[in-house]
Amino acid sequence: MKTYEQTLAYLFAQLPMYQRVGAAAYKEGLDGIVELCRRIGNPQENLKYIHVAGTNGKGSTSHMLASMLQEAGYKTGLYTSPHLVDFRERIKINAEMVSKDFVVEFTAKHAAIFEELKPSFFEMTVAMCFEWFQLQKVDYVVLETGMGGRLDSTNIITPLLSVITNIGMDHMKFLGDTEEKIAWEKAGIIKPGIPVLVGESNAQTRPVFKQKAAENQAPIYLAEEAAYCEKAEEDCFNLKTSKGQWMRLYTPLTGEYQTKNIRCVFAAYELLQMQIPGLNEAHFRLGLINVLSNTGLRGRWEKLQSEPDLICDIGHNAHGFNEILKSIKKYPHEDLYMVLGFVNDKDLGPVLSQLPKTACYIFTRSSSERSIPAAELAAEAKQYGLNGQAIEPVSEAVKYALNQAKAADLVYLGGSTFVVADYLSRLETENK
């Protein structure tokens, strides 16, 4: 019997992994996951799902929805990706990660099937979550898609509600080079007769969602028609419902962009209230307040230290950075230090062109094989008027920034999930 560490080493070595190697690991189509689940007994059947897709915000939205269901007393499964520190973050029940023993047992039990079918890393983890949630007899599952929607491995279930948070220009190599094309891929999670909620839309994407919903005779709802949300204070948001009622909401997720996610979760709550017994406004409110303790969510405008303040966020595309920069602008600080690293399959122009030229930049490189070397990133950034140091690894880059910054300054860490993951892993190791 392999140990947990040996099992992970086996999985990472034997199975292609998009998180690690990018495009080479991408498998298009649902045939693989359908056959894999059939061979292991279709564990995905007879579970109740809320299915969440979108370019940005789907992680925060998924965690808030799961927290709300937990507050209502339901045993709630939560599947998200990628992980930051521990592989098991992907599969949780009421904040508790899947057991190491199950990861080992699942892999050993189905090893022959894996060797025969050669599933992608994502297909394997999705199948693992289905089997774990079935064995643990969860009441509801909040299931986050990976990169897409239509051909995403999670898209073999029939949910109570489909949620599409928003559309931005990301993963264009796989999903399309226009907002309309990406919206069409994400809209692939819309199922016949199943209500779909769109968290944020525009003139380009709204017609796509409405057409897809009409084709499936699926009721469609727009979050902007259900509520308006604005940030009031550091941890406080004001939400106005379509009936004109104002609600004062509190959450430790303080990023400016959470206004859109909270609005989406409120609209989802109103729709789910009709399907989930006992769900009420108190559960929605408490779900926001207790989202971190209920789910263990990390890396969303997360403050890691004070004086100088160090904040990290996993936002990694132009749409995400547009929202992050709003939070930075409103955050009280003197000088701004930005520690950034990116992966090599992104068009960085739309991100770099919007970054403030007055910030102090430290370019770095994560441990991911897909990461751009710091010096190469610094050279590209210079073309956009962004000057700074190139320092590797991430921990040294952050250390340099913190040493340079004054107590009243702000140090921001981000650019990719892997940059944040590297630093959080370092902190966890130091705190053991």
pLDDT category of residue 24 using cuts at 50, 70 and 90: very low
State residue 148's pLDDT score: 75
What are the CA-CA distances from residue 275 to residues 94, 130, 236, 271, 429 (Å)?
20, 22, 29, 7, 43
State residue 18's pLDDT score: 42
Judge if 4-295 and 302-431 fold alike in CATH terms. Answer: no
State residue 181's pLDDT score: 85
302-431: CATH topology: Protein-Tyrosine Phosphatase; Chain A (3.90.190)
Instruction: For domain 4-295, give the CATH superfamily.
Output: Mur-like, catalytic domain (3.40.1190.10)
Percentage of the chain exceeding pLDDT 70 = 94
* Domain edges within the chain: 4-295, 302-431
* 172-193 residue pLDDT tens: 444 545 888 889 999 999 999 9
The tokens 């774990």 sit on which residue?
132
Angstrom distance (rounded) from CA 417 to CA 400: 20
Say whether pLDDT at 56 is over 70: yes
> Looking at 95-104, 115-124, 415-424, which range is the least confident one?
115-124
pLDDT category of residue 120 using cuts at 50, 70 and 90: confident
State residue 167's pLDDT score: 86
State residue 1's pLDDT score: 63
State residue 177's pLDDT score: 57
State residue 21's pLDDT score: 44
Angstrom distance (rounded) from CA 220 to CA 50: 15
* 320-340 residue pLDDT tens: 899 999 999 999 999 999 999
State residue 428's pLDDT score: 87
* 355-379 residue pLDDT tens: 999 999 999 999 988 899 999 999 9
* 14-23 residue pLDDT tens: 655 444 444 4
Q: What is the pTM of this model?
A: 0.93
366 CB burial (10 A radius; 0-12, 13-18, 19+)? buried
